[in-house]
Amino acid sequence: MKEAYKQYSQRKAEKAKSNVTHQQSPRKRINDECVQGEEVIMGDLTTLDRKALLQQGYADNRHSAQWSTRKSDAEIVAAEKKKQTVAEQVMIDHLSRAVISDPEQNVTIEKEESASILPDARRAPLRFRRRALHETKIRTHSTLTENMLSHKVQFDGRIISRNGHDACRELIGFFFTHDQSLTVYEYRQFGKNRTNVLPFIQKNVYSHQRGRRKGKQYQLGDFYIGGNLTFLSSDHPRLPESIRENTLLILRITNIDQIALDSLKADSVEREDDITSQEASDKLVLKAVQDMLKEQLRNRGVRILTGLGKYLQQLDKEGNGLLDKADFKQALKVFHLEVSENDFESSWLILNGNGNGKVDYGEFKRDVIGEMNEYRKSFVRKAFMKLDFNKTGSVSIIDIRKCYCAKKHPQVISGHSTEEEVKSSFLETLKDACSKSDEVSYGEFEDFYEGLSIGIADDEDFVNVLRIPWGI
């Protein structure tokens, strides 16, 4: 098997030097390289597959269970403090804005100034006096009250983006039932003591921007773990430039206040519509395709998913993340992922809801091949954020080598392998997933663990695969 892989590498090097390669179209050249690779690796597992599967050994390690439990408890407390800080800031911002924007304040000022009251030399006129936002003493009949704002559901979110820096932002959102509005805030920490809480999406009434519900206003039923919220980037000029480059901003709900959600649903009068049943049918179609592909990817998921990601990115010559039906069909064929014609057409009709003939290839991977749940993804982000301390969206291989610890791998503990052997195996498989030889982007890091996740049934086992070597 090693000899076959060596021969493949030699053939690939010779081909790169050949003038024939330059005469081929870019797509044909990409296809030929992938097909030749598949000729070597199809059939049994490759050496790279076996090295990637070596990471699953951490799932059997129970030595650090007590330590990890204590660390999880501390992380939960810290997360709750963050959420409380954001919730307080949201309340202050919106109550203050409601009072200051109330036109009745101007009437009150005019009445006080026109009244026959002797001026107080020690006090400046009211219109020149500086007033704190929420602590203003002017009474108004503003309809927004603290009680109204308390009828809300709070949720955590992340940006679905190919940009690693944006994907790791800490976002906390609120949906208010009194007016069906929502807002999203970003929590940022600088050092140990300095924090900043700023609006990311201004409080307003918003509607779905794609899918079967396009144009329909957000309701309570749209908020659940794994749900997507879509916004037009052009409507939010304060968003970072890297986000406004895309037409749509997509936020994924990663966690939610389930107690508040259940309580609000009990008082809600929302009814299911025809769209709800259509969406349920769509999910069943995609789930059937995902289950079928999951069996094909169980032991070679890392290699296929990372390879597929690079392949689709190479096909995207315009750099907008969109590809047509022929591209996706060819990609499945190149990587020997078998999907029946009927299943593919059904999936395409669901994904190509806008009818423009092109689909985001990240969305295609998520919906057709599937993805790990948000609990697992949260640990992937924790590991990457520990490595990406400069928050650039990419990490050098040198830094990864420094941070990766193989001491507690079962094969190292039993003496069957050394730390260096396990670490080298990991780095080799990770580098094979990257477009650059000396650094790893967040998307590539996530794809690696996405492929590894397919073969691990239990969530806690998968968490061990991340928690132990990265110390999170």
Q: Tell the burial category of 84 from Cβ atoms under 10 Å away from its Cβ (0-12, 13-18, 19+).
A: exposed
SS3 of residue 350 by DSSP: helix
Q: 291 and 340 in one domain?
A: yes
Distance between alpha carbon 165 and the CA centroid of its chain, in Å? 11
Q: 379 and 354 in one domain?
A: no
The 10 Å CB-count burial string (b at 16+, else e) for 58-70 is bbebeeeeeebee
The 10 Å CB-count burial string (b at 16+, else e) for 422-443 is bbebbbebbbbbbeeeebbbbb
Dig out the tokens for 155 from the structure.
Answer: 């949720």
Distance in Å from the first CA to the final CA of the chain: 36
Provide the domain count of the chain: 4
The 10 Å CB-count burial string (b at 16+, else e) for 157-192 is bbbbbbbbbbbbbbbbbbbbbeeebbbbbbbeeeee
Q: 277 and 267 in one domain?
A: no
Q: Dihedral sign for Cα 315, 317, 318, 324, please.
A: negative
Q: 379 and 463 in one domain?
A: yes
Q: Is residue 146 part of a domain?
A: no
Tell me, what CATH number does 439's domain have?
1.10.238.10
Report pLDDT for 79: 83
Tell me, what CATH number does 176's domain have?
2.30.29.170
Enumerate the β-bridge partners of residue 439: 396
- Identify the domain boundary among 215, 248, 271: 271
Token pair 């397919």 is found at: 454
Q: 392 and 307 in one domain?
A: no
Q: Is residue 428 part of a domain?
A: yes
Q: 355 and 310 in one domain?
A: yes
Dig out the tokens for 317 from the structure.
Answer: 């010559």
SS3 of residue 180 by DSSP: coil
- Identify the domain boundary among 354, 371, 388: 371
Q: Is residue 425 part of a domain?
A: yes
Report pLDDT for 150: 85
Global pTM reads: 0.74
Q: 166 and 237 in one domain?
A: yes
Is residue 31 within 8 A of residue 334, CB to CB? The reply is yes
Dig out the tokens for 328 from the structure.
Answer: 């996706």
Enumerate the β-bridge partners of residue 441: 394
Report pLDDT for 201: 93
Low-confidence residues in the chain, pLDDT < 70? 1-44, 60-72, 98-144, 162-165, 191-192, 270-274
Q: 434 and 381 in one domain?
A: yes
Dig out the tokens for 459 from the structure.
Answer: 């969530």
Is residue 423 within 8 A of residue 21, CB to CB? The reply is no
Q: 349 and 437 in one domain?
A: no
Dig out the tokens for 14 from the structure.
Answer: 């010779």
Q: Is residue 455 part of a domain?
A: yes
Q: 455 and 424 in one domain?
A: yes
Dig out the tokens for 282 from the structure.
Answer: 């769509």
Q: Is residue 296 part of a domain?
A: yes
- Identify the domain boundary among 271, 288, 322: 271
Q: 258 and 277 in one domain?
A: no
Reported residue count of the chain is 472
Report pLDDT for 131: 52
C-alpha to C-alpha distance for 73 and 65, rounded to whole angstroms = 12
Q: 294 and 247 in one domain?
A: no
Q: Please state at what angle helix 274-297 crosses helix 301-315, rounded to 10 degrees.
A: 120
| Residue 395: Cβ within 10 Å count | 23
Tell me, what CATH number does 309's domain have?
1.10.238
| Residue 409: Cβ within 10 Å count | 26
Q: Please state at what angle helix 325-334 crosses helix 301-315, rounded to 10 degrees.
A: 150
The domain in which residue 174 lies consists of 151-271
C-alpha to C-alpha distance for 49 and 58, rounded to whole angstroms = 16
Q: Is residue 141 part of a domain?
A: no
Dig out the tokens for 11 from the structure.
Answer: 């053939």
Q: Is residue 115 part of a domain?
A: no
Distances in whole angstroms, Cα of residue 319 to Cα of each of 167, 190, 361, 463:
18, 33, 11, 34
Q: Is residue 91 part of a domain?
A: no
